Amino acid sequence: MTFTIGIISDTHGLLRPEALRMLAHVDHIIHGGDIGDPEIITALRRIAPVTAIRGNVDTSDWATEFAETEFVRLAGRLFYVLHDLNTLQVDPV
């Protein structure tokens, strides 16, 4: 059975219909930051479970629920999610 992960970032408060169509049948969504509006995450959660981090534009109070980086294990693989490569805190090897 295939486990499909959808990856999106830099929505800046706008979730385009074509992005929703592409994510419509995924099993899990990773949002890589710069969410822009909490309604983006609400909309994505209607599709699939979401792992999200905050980006540099996510400075409002609602964004404090999201970490700057996140580890998530999906389908037996470990993913390290970050918005800005300059904040990388692990050895990617």
pLDDT at 92: 66
Q: Which domains does the chain have, with CATH numbers?
A: 5-85 (3.60.21.10)
pLDDT at 32: 97
pLDDT at 84: 84
pLDDT at 89: 79
Q: Which residues contact 75 (CB under 8 A, 6 or more apart)?
A: 3, 5, 27
pLDDT at 20: 97
- pLDDT bracket for residue 33 (50, 70, 90): very high
* 72 sits in which H/E element: strand 69-74
Are the beta carbons of 81 and 51 closer than 8 angstroms? yes
For the cut 70, the answer to whether the pLDDT of residue 87 exceeds it is yes
- pLDDT bracket for residue 93 (50, 70, 90): low
Among the listed residues 9, 4, 55, 43, the one whose alpha carbon sits nearest the alpha carbon of residue 26: 4
